Amino acid sequence: MRVGVHTSIAGGFENAAKRAHQLGCDGFQIFSANPRGWRAGQLSAEACARFRKVRKDHGLTPLAIHANYLINLAAPDPAIRALSVSAFRGEIERSAALGAEYLVVHAGSAKDGDRQQALTTFVKSLLEAAKGLDPKGLTVLVENTAGQGSVLGASFEELAAILNGLADGIPAGACIDTAHLFAAGYPIHTAPGLRQTLGQLDASLGFGNVRLIHANDSKAGFGSRCDRHEHIGQGQIGSEAFGRILRHPSLRLIPFICETPVDEPDDDIRNLQMMRKLAGERRQRSGARRAARRPSAGWMRALRAKP
């Protein structure tokens, strides 16, 4: 299995890749710009080339880029929708330039509008943002949510509706967040609940459409609709449940990226080590000590084989 964390782009993109290697990541996630601002600078060809080289040198795959939090492609307000379309087009362009495999985006919010119409608006907006662009191997991943307020994407059925709408327009799949699943009312914290949840996931989305898992424990309670991440094994989901998730045969070939808090130095390392321990991996690796490790041929074949 391949695990990683979200790393900071402070000091330049190549430093984010170096941090990922030093932490012991297999793959990693970054922002391509300030995640809470509408304006983003242009990437230079030189910066992109340096970043790509560091990734290649250390075998860091996959790279996921998380889209700006302000983006709401489902917005009923025309002005917010226009800003969101423009911002997401920039996300696609930067992700392609950096050589990312995945671009993760939330389904947005219906605000006070109709949810079905909002889902349709999201699909139209995303396709508009992508029109005429060459994704260069990039796949857009729609992330499930905790379901707070009017936010879309808390159910597998809504994610499936979105992916069906995008099917002929741009390569797309799903990113599943464990904390969001739990908060939305999917009982992944028990063995029967995990079996039930994965059965629903496969029936609605198909495992082949799940390209990335955000591995986060939850500070908030089951079905709370509250999005609060916690360190692996220290939240309401718990280490026993995470062990079942990480060892499940239908999930092991899907990359796991932690978006857990960094409250103390080395928290990211501790979360990665906990992930590997719960997954049953025998070796504990430190990026500062281990040699560069490229993705296995089997993993890459499995990645390319996904529809």
Query: Which two structure tokens, joined as six digits, stand for 101?
Result: 């495999």
Annotation says 106 is catalytic: yes
81 close to 47: Cβ distance less than 8 angstroms: no
* Phi–psi pair at 105, nearest 5 degrees: -140, 145
Active-site residue 214, yes or no?
yes
Catalytic residue among 91, 93, 217, 227: 227
Bridge-based pairing state of the strands 229-230 and 217-218: antiparallel
Choosing from 26, 93, 158, 177, which is the catalytic residue?
Answer: 177
Is 231 in the active site? no
Catalytic residue list contains 230: no
First to last CA, the chain: 19
**Spatial distance between the Cα atoms of 38 and 70, rounded to a whole number of angstroms:** 7
Cα–Cα separations (whole angstroms), residue 167 to 127, 161, 162: 10, 10, 9
- Of 211, 214, 231, 276, which one is the catalytic site residue? 214
Query: Catalytic pick from 36, 282, 283, 304?
Result: 36
User: Exposed (0-12), middle (13-18) or buried (19+): which is 16, by Cβ within 10 Å?
Assistant: buried
Question: Out of 180, 189, 211, 285, which one is annotated catalytic?
Answer: 180
Among residues 58, 106, 189, 285, which one is catalytic?
106
Q: What is the SS3 assignment for 62-110?
A: CEEEECCCCCCCCCCCHHHHHHHHHHHHHHHHHHHHHCCCEEEEECCEC
Of 143, 158, 217, 268, which residue is the catalytic one? 143
6 is a catalytic site residue: no
Has 102 been annotated as catalytic?
no
Active-site residue, selected from the candidate residues 69, 240, 248, 290: 69
Tell me if residue 248 is catalytic. no
* Catalytic residue (choose from 2, 6, 19, 66): 66
Would you call 143 a catalytic residue per the annotation? yes
**Is-catalytic flag, 69?**
yes
User: Is 229 a known active-site residue?
Assistant: yes
21 tagged catalytic:
no
The active-site residue out of 6, 19, 58, 229 is 229
Is the distance from CB of 54 to CB of 16 less than 8 angstroms? no
Catalytic residue among 128, 202, 259, 267: 259
Decide if 166 contacts 129 (C-beta within 8 A): no
Instruction: State the catalytic residues.
Output: 36, 66, 69, 106, 143, 177, 180, 214, 227, 229, 259
